[in-house]
Amino acid sequence: MQQLDPQAWQQHALKNRLQSVLLLFVLAGFMSLLGYLLSGTMVVSFLGLIFVLIVATLSSNSAGMLLRAYQAQPLSPNQAPALFEMTKQLSARADLEYLPVLYYLPSSVPNAFTVGTGKHAAIAVSDGLLRKMNYREMAGILAHEISHIRNRDVWVMGIADIFNRSSA
């Protein structure tokens, strides 16, 4: 398998981050204009302050809240040694600085998701997923979730979620 040149990957990642920030500013500008037209300057200023506070605390608070909402429980290496070893190897291959914390979801629905960033990153896997997937399939799912951490997709998805919830 051919690997992407590290410099080309860095340029691509930077371009994606810039596009995300630009999109964030365009959406914020559009919502500010709409708020101004409907409510005036004071309301827009207040909502802008609230938005900045939400974005500033997004990575530290949303992960824990989401995991609690799903009743996720942390897994220990003794409970799932193969899963931990797989996560450790995939994280090393992805050059992650910190090993994501693994969580167990008590649900029969096959599901996995990633929350948090950096040293606060976590991967949740459901009971249904653990029961239905073989070793290779589970490695693919974990690699996919680790790629979200590596590429900082979780932050962008969180921002998109804020806009989605605020427009509903």
Catalytic residue positions?
A: 145
Structure tokens at 159: 């921002």
In this structure, are residues 128 and 109 in contact, taking their beta carbons and an 8 Å threshold? yes
Q: Give the span between the Cα atoms of 138 and 83, in whole angstroms.
A: 8
Structure tokens at 76: 């220990």
Closest by Cα among 72, 107, 106, 96 to 154: 96
In this structure, are residues 59 and 157 in contact, taking their beta carbons and an 8 Å threshold? no
Contacts of 80 by beta carbon, 8 Å cutoff, 6+ apart: 102, 104, 130
Helical H segments across 40-152, by residue range: 41-69, 81-93, 127-132, 135-150
